[in-house]
Structure 1
Amino acid sequence: MTVMVRRFKTADVPAIERLNVRLATAGLPHRVGHEDSRRSEERRLDKESIVQRLYVAAAGEEIRGGIWLREQLFWSAGRSVRVGWTVYPVAESLIDGKAAGVPASLLFSLLRQQPYLMALGMGGHAGPFAKILAAARWAGSSLPFFFHLRHPSRVLRHLAYARTTRLRRTVADCLAASGVAWTANKLLAGVRAAMRGGRARQFTYAVVDRFDSWADEHWERCRDSYGFIAARDSRALNALYPEGFRCLTRLRVQHSGRDVGWICARSINALGTRLERHFGGLRVGILTDGLAQPGDATGVMEAGFRYLVDEDVDLIVTYQSHPAWCAAASDIGLMRGPSNCAFYRSPAVEALLTRAAADNRHCHLTRSDGDGPEPV
């Protein structure tokens, strides 16, 4: 099948809908969206912090796939770098072998326009698009995942991962009923609290409605401590976390009256949301994003942790890439678990990461990168 990858046109909407019908008929949940046809001018990074554009694979009058290019500015080696994320790749190859070349065509078309290209998530390395990226010799790794069970018995009875087989269900129910999980969790939390001492408690937080000039000043102080990091000034943050974004709290963190960072925390009742299939009726706490000097990461993350404890969540999770933030997660009592968040990057991005790591400056990514924080 020969396809031409090009920018979306308003006239493509009927063909996209026909593709979506074919996918739905095959029982697949994936869909290709479309851009807002009411926008007349091209979106540009000098006017917006994040720009998304849809590209489609056209074959005659039919659309065989689509992919979004999400561009934003990153900071690396003392300069801004325009980078791109591949977002929501969908192709008819999922149901028709004759369209097997469509995903690769979409990818290489984007790569010609944006060499600094990345992908995050994708359900892990076993997903079809992740396999294409690996075959294209992109560097791949997993974004480290950390968790803490605040109410172990409830988590064991509701968490889908703990109940996927009869054996897992039996073990989970026994642990929940016996109280062993609760006791082990308390002992572990106590040991780690004693190890980290009282300094983290000296970090205070205040809930804020938006990011203002204080966030810009903090960004300027922190950005050179990281080798590769998305722009996190107030303009970028307010675009990523607009006012009214559901179930998200912005915390401005201080130490001795001085700004040392911020962290975004989410408290979500999974029931009735897209998270329900994973978490059942649990209240999930997510430390979704944050910024501080690496040496202050533990105090800032602990402030977010305390906020979620006060929200009485059942479990707390976070994804972090930077070594200091991974250490901070462990320091405040989170355990590392299996991650289903794959991170693939083109050779141009991998070169930036390698140079930064040689200078002991590392990549700072969270689950809010890629396609952004998940709405609920």
Structure 2
Amino acid sequence: MAIQIVPHTEERKPLVEAFNAKMHGGGSQYGFYVEPTPRWIPKREGQKVWRELYLAVRSGKDGDQEVVGGYALKPQVWLVDGQEHLVADWQGPFSLGAIDNKYAAMGLRMVRDMLKKQPLIYSWGHGGEDEPIVRMLRKMGWLLHETPFLFRICKPKNFLTKNAYLREDGKKALAQDFLAYSGLGFLGLHTMHAALRVRSLKLRFEAQSEVVPQLGPWADELWEKAKDAYRAIAVRDADTMNALASPQHDHDEWPEPVRLRVRKDGRDIGWAIVLERQQKGNARFGDMRMGMIADYFAHPDDAAEVIHAAFAHLRDLGVDMVMANQSHPKWIAGFEDAGFLKVDKRRIFCASPELEKVLKPWTETREGLFLSNMDGHGPMGI
């Protein structure tokens, strides 16, 4: 059988539908995008970030065709040590190898195809070092860098009684119910968050946030002033962010984003993009109302102020918990200063050998590498 990796097209939509049906019928939770034009950041002239969809198509001797895999790329302009580079995130690869060993090599073939199209490529996510894709990338000589998960609980009772992940064990669930209804959980969790803020010696935050319809010239001014404070960061000017968090939000992969302009003492110090959603039967969050600080920008010295302003907005909306992922040490410290708890080694930044060369010396660059939930393939998981 001959397999080619080709761009997704309108004509191939029925083939993708058949692929998805076969994947789900075989017990896999994964599939691929039926529509060939991405609803999130389709390619437009002059845009510094977009998405591309590719399919692995098998052609039989009689001319019939079958989709056996697919992946997505998100090229975006990055600034690394002051120089612009086109760096791409990849999503997938998804293949029939998940349900049929005959296609077990498709994952490796698609990764190699990605590298031909975009040598400076990365992925940020994964469940741990034991995942098959992570083991494969390690064997291929990719750079692997672990980053934390950050969260702050707003409503301890709901966190203890509605969090599906923590309640898988019946005995633990019973203990959590006791903590929730006795009030001890409220005291313990609030004391823990307060202790983080005491440790930071910054008990008062003064920045205020304002909901805005989109980012404007003021955001470009912030970008120009603060971009050189980072060693490696995706471009975050107004046009790019208005593409990533479009005011014309028209997909359901995550909730509609809210854009916040953050000011202190009458001046702009940063911005944040936040999301919130009421969960129902979520595998991790159960029935909690979740908030996410999905993206943000400021000088690293203003990190805690921007984070706290974004957190306060979500807290006032009534969420049970606020979460985020981040790689930059000063921003991670800013989250902790704002009362967030840190859980280490929850995501892995995987960079291709060619991207690792651009990021050298890595021991220095990693101290200034900025990744938020809007990097990679977007703020999924909420």
Structure 1 residue 108, shift from structure 2 partner: 0.3
Q: How does 1:55-204 map to 2 (within 5 A)?
A: 55-60=54-59, 61-197=65-201, 201-204=205-208
Larger displacement relative to structure 2 (164-173 or 107-116): 164-173
Q: How far apart are the structure 1 equivalents of 2:374 and 2:366?
A: 24
2: distance between equivalents of 1:338 and 1:355? 23
Task: Say whether the 8 Å CA contact 1:45–1:72 is kept in structure 2.
Answer: no
Structure 1 Cα separation of the partners of residues 223 and 51 of structure 2: 24
Q: Distance in 2 between matches of 1:83 and 1:242?
A: 21
User: What is the CA deviation profile of residues 239-294 of structure 1, one whole-angstrom value per residue up to 9, with x for unaligned ones?
Assistant: 0111154443211112221111111222222237xxx3322221112111111111
Q: Is the CA contact (8 Å cut-off) linking 1:44 and 1:51 kept in structure 2?
A: yes
1:354 to 360, 365, 378: 360
Q: Is the 8 A contact 1:200 1:302 kept in 2?
A: no
Match of 2:266 in 1: 257
- C-alpha RMSD of matched pairs (Å): 2.5
Which one is further off, 365-374 or 316-325? Answer: 365-374
Count residues in correspondence.
370
Q: 1:325 and 2:331 equivalent?
A: yes
Alpha-carbon distance between aligned partners in 2 of 1:21 and 1:188, rounded to the nearest angstrom: 47
Q: Partners of 2:358 and 2:129 in 1: how far apart? A: 22
> Which range moved further: 312-321 or 344-353?
344-353
TM-score, with structure 2 as normaliser: 0.88
134-143 vs 1-10, which moves further? 1-10
Instruction: Find the residue that maps to 1:202 and give its secondary structure.
Output: coil
2:287 alignment partner, SS class: coil
1:44 to partner: Cα distance: 5.6
* Structure 2 counterpart of 1:5: 5
Give the 3-state SS of the residue equivalent to 1:51 in structure 2. Answer: coil
Change (3 A) 1:164 1:360: closer
Aligned to 1:308: 314
Deviation digits for residues 215-258 of structure 1 (CA, Å, limit 9, x no counterpart): 11111111111111111101110001111544432111122211
The aligned residue for residue 293 of structure 1 is: 299
Is 1:53 the counterpart of 2:52 in the alignment? yes
Q: Say yes or no: does 1:233 pair with 2:232.
A: no
Structure 1 residue 162 displacement after superposition = 0.5
Does the CA-based 8 Å contact 1:240-1:373 persist in structure 2? no
Q: Which sections of structure 1, spanning at least 5 residues, go unmatched?
A: none
Distance (Å, rounded) in 2 between the aligned partners of 1:123 and 1:198: 34
- Whether the 8 Å CA contact 1:353–1:362 is kept in 2: the answer is no
Deviations 1:127-163 (A, max 9, x none): 3333322332212233311111222221111111111
Per the TM alignment, residue 171 of structure 1 is displaced from its structure 2 partner at its CA by: 3.0
State the SS of the aligned residue for 1:268.
Answer: strand
Q: How far did residue 176 of structure 1 move?
A: 2.1
Distance 1:112 1:192, change over 3 A: same
Query: Normalising by structure 1, what TM-score?
Result: 0.90
**Larger CA deviation: 138-147 vs 219-228:** 138-147
Q: For residue 223 of structure 1, what is the amino acid of its counterpart?
A: K
Q: Which secondary structure does the structure 1 equivalent of 2:246 belong to?
A: coil
The 1:285/1:13 distance shift into structure 2, 3 A limit, reads closer
Q: Is the 8 A contact 1:206 1:253 kept in 2?
A: yes
Helix, strand or coil at the partner of 1:49: coil
CA deviation after TM superposition for structure 1 residue 365, in Å: 0.2
- 1:221 correspondence with 2:225: yes
Q: Is 364-373 or 189-198 further displaced after alignment?
A: 189-198
- Output the amino acid matched with 1:58: V
Give structure 2 stretches of 5+ with no counterpart: 60-64, 250-254
One-letter amino acid of the structure 2 residue matched with residue 49 of structure 1: K
CA distance in 1, matches of 2:214, 2:288: 28
Compare 156-165 and 347-356 and name the one that shifted more. Answer: 347-356
Q: Provide, for residues 327-364 of structure 1, a one-character-per-residue CA deviation record: whole Å limited to 9, x for no partner.
A: 01111111112554332111122233333653785110
The change in CA–CA distance for 1:199 and 1:291 in structure 2 (over 3 A counts) is farther
Q: Which range moved further: 48-57 or 66-75?
A: 48-57
